[in-house]
Amino acid sequence: MYLKDCIDTGWVSTAGKYVEKFEHMIANFTKARHVVATSSGTAALHAIFSALNIGCDDEVIVPSFTFVGTANAVTYTGATPHFVDIERISLGLDAKKLRKHLKSITTRENAELINCKTGKRIAAIVCVHAFGHPSDLDALSDLSNEFRIPLIEDAAEALGSYYNHKHTGTFGRASILSFNGNKTITTGGGGAILTNDTTLADKLRYLTSTAKEKHQWEFIHQEIGFNYRLPNINAALGCAQMEKLPDFLIQKRKLAKAYKEAFSSIDGVNIFSEPRWAKSNYWLNFLVLETSDVSFRDKSLAALNNAGYGARPAWRPMHLLPMFKTAYRSDLSVTEDMYARIINVPSSSQLSERLPK
């Protein structure tokens, strides 16, 4: 119905009623005060960094265990990712380890947190809710306040995930969602920014709309902006998907339970379960092997794929990618160990329909 209306009326581009409707639906679901729909999750992150005046001579704390879009968005501003380790229980940033790391390498100059090793300002912390599982947001919020640097949530995969009954993406200064084709809901391609900061929301809406000033007919731009707004036709698809989101989440958790039961009697492997503080959307289920022998993981991946199951490894850690090999980093032993142990397994909500009744 929504898509047909877009086509029938001709409102398919970035202007149209469904963009605002989609934003309101996300806001109502997550309880975020402001939502700005964007063309992708990566674009959303880039816009946030730009709105916070992050640029050259800055570093942004990022887990090495993440999708490349997180680190790429940092570099788009001229800043440098600063890679840190994760904890096993959530695959999110390890707040205790990060606190120790920051205390050992930073000083404060003119109210700014400076990395003594590089001379660069540490401008933000980005936590990633990996595979939809919430990070320890209380600990990370405390850390953000202690060091006086903003917390940004990369909740690209975490729509429908909750930390202590509060939706992910509503804890930090701002956060992002992704609506890529493989996410819990999709707009074909797209993302969104969530924030409770009205001034920041206004700035983000302005920047993502090519920094165009409001005027009845003139095209006035006072600064460089980005063509990052979500088209109306994609938002229309998002509206239809949001209506189905509660059922998608039920099916996701049903599938996760089935995986856990299926692998409970198999030695040498476990299905990852949500942390104690979380209600996860289980966006992407994964096996955790008891061995960190990469050759065993790769043989298992080959066997699964040869049998017709679309299993995949976790993302290759960012510090192992050639374009980030010189980026500053902390000890990343847990990241490297978990990368060697994880096998992602098919997780579409539609798979639950094939489970025995």
- Of 209, 241, 273, which one is at a domain's C-terminal end? 241
235 lies in the same domain as 253: no
CA 16 remoteness from chain centre: 27
Angstrom distance (rounded) from CA 118 to CA 202? 33
Query: Do residues 147 and 259 both lie within one domain?
Result: no
What DSSP line would sit under 173-198, residue for residue?
SEEEEE--TTSSS--SS-EEEEES-H
CA distance 104 to 314: 30
Q: Answer with the one of 214, 241, 268 that is the final residue of a domain.
A: 241
Q: Residues 27, 92: one domain?
A: yes
Q: Return the CATH number at 266.
A: 3.90.1150.10
Within this chain, do residues 196 and 211 fall inside the same structural domain, yes or no? yes
CATH code assigned at 187: 3.40.640.10
pLDDT, residue 355, reads 63
User: How much is the pLDDT for 153?
Assistant: 99
Residues 152 and 43 placed together within one structural domain of the fold = yes
Distance of CA 128 to the CA centre of its chain: 5
- pLDDT, residue 333, reads 98
Domains held by the chain: number:
2
Could you say which of 241, 266, 290 is where a domain stops? 241
Containing structural domain, residue 343: 246-354
Q: Which amino acid is at 319?
A: H
Q: How far apart are CA 66 and CA 78, in angstroms?
A: 20
Q: State how far the Cα of 250 lies from the Cα of 234, in Å rounded to an integer.
A: 24
pLDDT for the residue numbered 356 = 53
**Same domain, yes or no: 294 and 232:** no
Residues 6+ apart with CB under 8 A from 299: none
Q: Are residues 225 and 328 located together in one domain of the fold?
A: no
Residue 51 CB burial class (10 angstroms; 0-12, 13-18, ≥19): buried
Please enumerate in sequence order all residues whose Cβ is within 8 A of that of 302, keeping only pairs 6 or more positions apart, or say none: none
**Residue 46, CA distances (Å) to 33, 73, 198, 287, 341 in order:** 20, 5, 18, 32, 31
- Phi, psi torsion values for 249, nearest 5 degrees: -65, -40
- 235 and 305 together in one domain: no
The 3-state DSSP class for residue 195 equals strand
Exposure string (b/e) for 230-247, b if CB count within 10 Å is 16 or more? bbbbbbbbbbebbeebee
Both 173 and 188 in one domain: the answer is yes
Residue 207, amino acid:
L
- Each residue's pLDDT, cut to its tens digit, for the chain (357 residues) gives 887 888 878 777 777 899 999 999 999 999 999 999 999 999 999 999 999 999 999 999 999 999 999 999 999 999 999 999 999 999 999 999 999 999 999 999 999 999 999 999 999 999 999 999 999 999 999 999 999 999 999 999 999 999 999 999 999 999 999 999 999 999 999 999 999 999 999 999 999 999 998 888 888 898 999 999 999 999 999 999 999 999 999 999 999 999 999 999 999 999 999 999 999 999 999 999 999 999 999 999 999 999 999 999 999 999 999 999 999 999 999 999 999 999 999 999 888 767 654
Specify whether the CB–CB gap between 270 and 263 falls below 8 A: yes
DSSP-derived 3-state class of residue 55? coil
20: its two tokens: 């605002």
Whether residues 49 and 165 share a domain: the answer is: yes
Q: What is the CA radius of gyration of the chain?
A: 21
Same domain, 54 and 175: yes
Do 223 and 196 share a structural domain? yes
**Contact by Cβ (8 Å): 251, 348:** no
